Amino acid sequence: MHSAITTIGKTIEDQLKGRDLLTLLDYTSEEIDYLLQKALIMKQEMVAGKMPAVLQGKTLGMIFEKHSTRTRISFEVGMNHLGGHAMFMHAKDLQIGRGEPISDTGKVLSEYVDGVMIRANSHEMVKELAKHATIPIINGLTDIFHPCQALADLLTMIEVKGTIRGKKLAYVGDGNNVAHSLIIGAANMGMHVAFASPEGYACNQNLFMKAQKIANANGGSLIQTNNAIEAVENADVVYTDVWTSMGQEEETATRLQVFNDFQVNDELVAHAKKDYMFLHCLPAHREEEVATSVIDGPNSYVFQQAGNRLHAQKAVLATLL
């Protein structure tokens, strides 16, 4: 692990310095692996009481259009651990809430802070911000991607399973932003991914095909199905997310009916490997997308996964900023 950082890692770190993190599609398998290995090392260092202040004097601006628990707290604490400062800004309190072009906001913030993490409604808006900013822009969640969550997911799999190349990941549920970033990240790590959703609720097919090509190039695979049992069969990792994401509340009643056969419960996970691990990005709706017996059971790593948001994001911050 340390050798990866000290040899080819230095070249990769130089490549990543000052970069944006909008989607994992912009990162190579080697770059993703570098961030994951760095996160593991930084977590070990924190446990040992070592937190090098590598971002001393740096400020991260954090813009929020959506509610947040894990994203806000992990980025804020992460900057503190690294010796820097994080500034919370709700979009409605900024001039963008009154119609200032996001291009102007990007230029202005570039004069004040060293990087921006944004949790936004529109991915196009975040792309526009990055286009006009001269500082790293980090996607804390958009309607299409959630790359920081995927890094924490992969980090947790590595901690529990060791190498994840060749392991099977089953995702059961909605083809949302979490699913998009997860399948891209897993594809880069050479995993075999089976995605199960009701008809009409699959991932964006353009993104799915891109992830499929990445998986094939890395010795993995990516399939989609409308059969949850088929997806979970012999899986090493079983993952789900809420059936109704933020902004889709008016669809709740319909989605509860459509997704009824896609609950991750004891009957479904019986088809996975005995030592499978269960993951969920949280917050979870117990007895909807996941049975309480699964999420609170011995195969669940959801709180370790949530904790790893801190370490994955510290690796991102320390590298990009």
Residues placed in the known binding site: 68-71, 95, 119, 146-149, 177, 241, 245-246, 281-282, 309
Marked catalytic residue, from 81, 309, 311, 313: 309
Q: Which amino acid is at 110?
A: S
- Are 245 and 174 in contact by the 8 Å Cβ rule? The answer is yes
Is the C-alpha dihedral spanning 287, 293, 296, 300 positive or negative? negative
Backbone angles phi, psi at 61, to 5 degrees: -85, 135
Residue 257 annotated among the catalytic residues of the structure: no
- Chain CA centroid to CA 165, Å: 18
281 included as an active-site residue: yes
Catalytic residue among 236, 241, 305, 313: 241
Number of C-alpha atoms within 13 angstroms, CB side, residue 7? 5
Backbone angles phi, psi at 104, to 5 degrees: -70, -40
**Residue 203 annotated as catalytic:** no
Binding residues for carbamoyl phosphate: 68-71, 95, 119, 146-149, 281-282, 309
Residue 245 C-alpha from the chain's centroid: 15
Q: Which residue among 281, 305, 311, 313 is the active-site one? A: 281
The Cβ of residue 236 has, within 10 Å, a number of other Cβ atoms equal to 20
**Contact criterion met (CB below 8 Å) for 135 and 116:** yes
How many Cβ atoms from other residues are within 10 Å of residue 318's Cβ? 22
Among the options 20, 81, 119, 180, which is catalytic? 119
**Cα–Cα distances in angstroms (integers) from residue 314 to residues 76, 175, 203, 306, in the given order:** 10, 27, 29, 14
Among residues 37, 81, 143, 146, the one annotated as catalytic is 146
Please confirm, yes or no, whether 19 is among the known catalytic residues: no
**Which residues are tagged catalytic?**
119, 146, 149, 241, 281, 309
